[in-house]
Amino acid sequence: MLDAQGKQIGILTRDEALLKAKNEGLDVVEIAANANPPVAKIVDFQKFRYEENKRDRAAKKGATEGGMKELWLSPRIAEHDLGVRLNQANKFFEAGHKVKLTVKFKGRELGHRELGYKVLNEALAILGERVSADREPKFEGRKLSVVLTKTKGVKKDETENKEVNTEKDQNNI
């Protein structure tokens, strides 16, 4: 049993703990029910709940989303449209999400599966070293999909420097 200041009082019966809490105008809260004997603390219950919620909010605030976002592509997608989708994927990566690129096949397109692989390989080439595939592209019915995650080693500044250097190189040629 712990008192309001967190000092150990000792082992008390339930009735003794309730009486002591009532005399102080506080409540008894069970902290560790699985311990032998169970650990309880004499506290103001409303304040206890407030502090507990505050800790939970702080833990959620520091955690990243880590969710999964899916972008649909077509085996006949235009180059500009692919660029637009990949820009959206970059925004998702910056927000801490994984991205699932899915190529949907309609009708006779399924006869040309190599076009789907070509689109995904082109997307991976455009995204470059900033992302890595969690698994190889895989068919799931009429859909070809791959899950991508942002690699931790490459920083945003480094990718910008690479783009600037390629522009300088082109001017020198």
Q: Going by C-beta distance under 8 Å and a sequence separation of 6 or more, which residues neighbour residue 59?
A: none
Q: Going by C-beta distance under 8 Å and a sequence separation of 6 or more, which residues neighbour residue 158?
A: none
Of 3.10.20.80, 3.20.20.70, 3.40.50.300, 3.50.50.60, the CATH number of 14-62 is: 3.10.20.80
Query: What does the pLDDT profile of the chain (173 residues) look like in tens digits?
Result: 888 787 888 888 889 888 988 888 899 988 888 888 888 889 999 998 999 999 888 887 766 556 889 999 999 999 999 999 999 999 998 888 899 999 999 999 999 999 999 999 999 999 988 898 888 899 999 999 999 998 876 555 444 444 444 444 445 45
CATH of domain 68-152: 3.30.110.10
Q: Going by C-beta distance under 8 Å and a sequence separation of 6 or more, which residues neighbour residue 147?
A: 68, 98, 99, 100, 133, 134, 135
pLDDT of residue 59: 81
Q: Whole-model pTM?
A: 0.54
Give residue limits of the domains in the chain: 14-62, 68-152
